[in-house]
């Protein structure tokens, strides 16, 4: 008689551990690929947002025959925006009607600033999805929790070389109460402030940046947002060096400022508060440019620095730097409507040239 064994076949403990180890390795290999695919999708949506903004600016120009102003013109003297106080409605409000947001544009009250009740309780409370980069990791705004923006208009390169040389600038240049002011001093007069359209972009629309990205600020004050840290890109730092205005040695002065900003010690604490960037999408003035504008001083994803003669919330002589959560650079929509990914490694001189509309720089096609 044959005796059948009652032993059952199955996994041994060693075999089970091997299978678990293999699964863990596969997950470890797959997870970065999944994360990369998600970031690629977010970056593609960011590009689409910028294309929409670029198209809206072109449609605005077709209707008005001029580019939108950085902010509207009213102030204590009834002319240009004051250095402090009201935040006149700005360029992002002006193009709402061309972003399929006509009802929201109709709700805007240009007689009041963004922080005044008629706008603060309506327009300022709205978050426009096309004005937010999907790669932004913070979901709460630094001023009003439910709203912010990641897309900022280019107001120009280093002001030592040419102030207000960008695509989106103030349209008034009034003495005594001017958009181009110096803290504690007289108004700055410059031919670059004024109404213009594509005819004023003599460098070429394909060579002039229109809008780029900027990570939003941190509500209140976050002292740990140090240079070189991820949150350091969201803060601003006092550099202790002034930035001259339209100086005879503009290039050298701009480079000296850039080097001072780049060489900040890693232990430098940010300016208090850390909440300015992207805080108010729909309005600003000459002293709050961090709200929805940026400058071509520091190359992408560098730190933002406050000049000794600048303004913590953002003056035109500060380094208000384009930043993003995209690896290696930032997206930029050019004035011709094309979107380009600009690497962090771009040379300062090429970055400065892309930031100006009328300075006659020659930019090689392989320089960025």
Q: Which pLDDT tens digits describe the chain residue by residue (368 residues)?
A: 555 555 556 668 887 888 888 888 888 887 777 767 788 899 999 999 999 999 999 999 999 999 999 988 654 444 444 444 578 899 999 999 999 999 999 999 988 889 888 899 999 999 999 999 999 999 999 999 989 999 999 999 999 999 999 999 988 655 444 444 444 344 455 778 888 999 999 999 999 999 999 999 999 999 999 999 989 999 999 999 999 888 999 999 999 999 999 999 999 999 999 999 999 999 988 888 999 999 999 999 999 999 998 888 998 899 999 999 999 999 999 999 999 999 999 999 999 999 999 999 999 878 88
**In sequence order, what are the residues at sequence separation of 6 or more whose Cβ sits closer than 8 angstroms to the Cβ of residue 235?**
217, 218, 222, 225, 270, 271, 274, 303, 304
> CA angle, 313 as apex, 43 and 291 as ends, to 5°?
40
**In sequence order, what are the residues at sequence separation of 6 or more whose Cβ sits closer than 8 angstroms to the Cβ of residue 21?**
none
pLDDT of amino acid 73: 67
pLDDT of amino acid 170: 86
Instruction: Give strand pairing partners of 98.
Output: none
**In sequence order, what are the residues at sequence separation of 6 or more whose Cβ sits closer than 8 angstroms to the Cβ of residue 328?**
343, 344
pLDDT of amino acid 296: 98
* Alpha-helix residue ranges (DSSP H) falling in the chain: 13-64, 91-94, 102-107, 117-120, 250-262, 348-354
pLDDT of amino acid 88: 86
Using an 8 Å Cβ cutoff, are 277 and 216 in contact? yes
Distance (Å, whole) CA 155 – CA 142: 22
Query: What is the pTM assigned to this prediction?
Result: 0.87
């Amino acid at each position: 008689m044959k005796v059948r064994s009652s032993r059952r076949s199955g996994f041994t403990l060693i075999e089970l551990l091997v299978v678990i180890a293999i699964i863990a390795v596969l997950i470890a290999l797959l997870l970065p690929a999944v994360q990369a695919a998600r970031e690629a999708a977010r970056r593609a949506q960011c590009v689409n947002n910028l294309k929409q903004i670029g198209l809206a600016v072109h449609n605005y120009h077709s209707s008005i025959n001029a580019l939108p102003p950085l902010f509207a013109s009213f102030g204590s003297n009834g002319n240009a925006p004051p250095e402090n106080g009201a935040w006149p409605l700005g360029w992002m409000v002006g193009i709402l009607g061309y972003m399929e947001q006509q009802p929201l544009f109709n709700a805007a009250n240009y007689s009041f600033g963004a922080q005044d009740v008629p706008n603060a309780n309506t327009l300022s409370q709205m978050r426009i999805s096309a004005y937010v980069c999907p790669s932004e990791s913070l979901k709460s705004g630094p001023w009003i929790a439910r709203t912010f923006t990641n897309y900022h208009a280019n107001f120009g390169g280093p002001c030592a070389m040419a102030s207000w040389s960008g695509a989106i600038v103030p349209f008034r240049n009034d003495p005594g109460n001017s958009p181009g002011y110096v803290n504690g001093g007289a108004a700055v007069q410059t031919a670059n402030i004024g109404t213009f359209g594509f005819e004023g972009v003599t460098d070429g629309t394909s060579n002039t940046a229109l809008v780029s990205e900027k990570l939003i600020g941190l509500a209140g004050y976050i002292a740990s947002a140090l240079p070189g840290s991820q949150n350091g890109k969201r803060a601003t730092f006092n550099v202790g060096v002034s930035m001259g205005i339209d100086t005879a040695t503009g290039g050298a002065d701009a480079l000296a400022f850039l080097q001072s900003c780049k060489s900040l010690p890693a232990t430098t604490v940010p300016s208090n508060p850390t909440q300015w960037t992207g805080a108010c999408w729909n309005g600003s003035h000459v002293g709050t440019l961090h709200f929805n504008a940026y400058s071509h001083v520091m190359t992408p994803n560098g730190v933002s620095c406050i000049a000794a003669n600048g303004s913590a919330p953002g003056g035109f002589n500060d380094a208000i730097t384009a930043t993003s959560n995209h690896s290696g650079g930032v997206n930029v929509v050019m004035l011709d409507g094309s979107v380009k990914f600009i690497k962090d490694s771009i040379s300062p001189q090429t970055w400065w040239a892309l930031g100006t509309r009328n300075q006659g720089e020659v930019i090689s096609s392989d320089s960025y």
